[in-house]
Amino acid sequence: MEKKNTNKLPTICPSCNEKLDIINLQCPVCQTEVRGRYPMNIFSGLSNEDEEFLLCFLASRGSLKELQERMSISYPTARLRLNKMLSNLGLSEEKDLEKEENKNLLNLLDDLDKGNDSFDSVLRKIKGGVQ
């Protein structure tokens, strides 16, 4: 993926924590200005990490299996990151995300209990977001 400017458009007011609107746009070449009140789109609040994940997800045509290979992450991590991003965009219930995280943690503990995984590996997975 192509690296881009890491400066993000502020989306939240630093004084009152309300969503900001775009009021003024200016052409960098001819200095033409456009004024008005335009709401931010829901994607403008994504972190750089979530933005990269979304672009990779789209480039993978929605295939989490392909995405996990492109990003060198496990399938459970890919699902967890997708669920978190959907929740951040307001497209998923927070309760569903909590259930998914709890399920992933229980699966890790079950693997540990059955001897399918080592303690250190499970601990790394928990710290890294269930890889």
**Segments making up each domain of the chain, as ranges:** 44-127
Q: How far apart are the first and last CA of the chain?
A: 22
Query: Stretch 23-51: mean pLDDT, rounded?
Result: 88
Per-residue pLDDT, averaged over 116-129, amounts to: 76
Query: Burial of 81 by CB count in 10 Å (0-12 exposed, 13-18 middle, 19+ buried)?
Result: buried
Instruction: Read off the tokens for 121.
Output: 């590996």
Q: Which tokens belong to 45?
A: 């609040």
Q: Which amino acid does the sequence have at 82?
A: L
3-29 pLDDT, tens digit per residue, is 555 677 788 888 999 888 889 989 999
CA-closest candidate to residue 110, choices 76, 69, 73: 76
Give the tokens for residue 88.
């951040």
Angle at 53 between CA 49 and CA 58, to 5 degrees: 150
Encode pLDDT of 49-106 as tens digits. 888 999 999 999 999 999 989 998 888 888 888 888 888 888 876 666 666 777 777 7
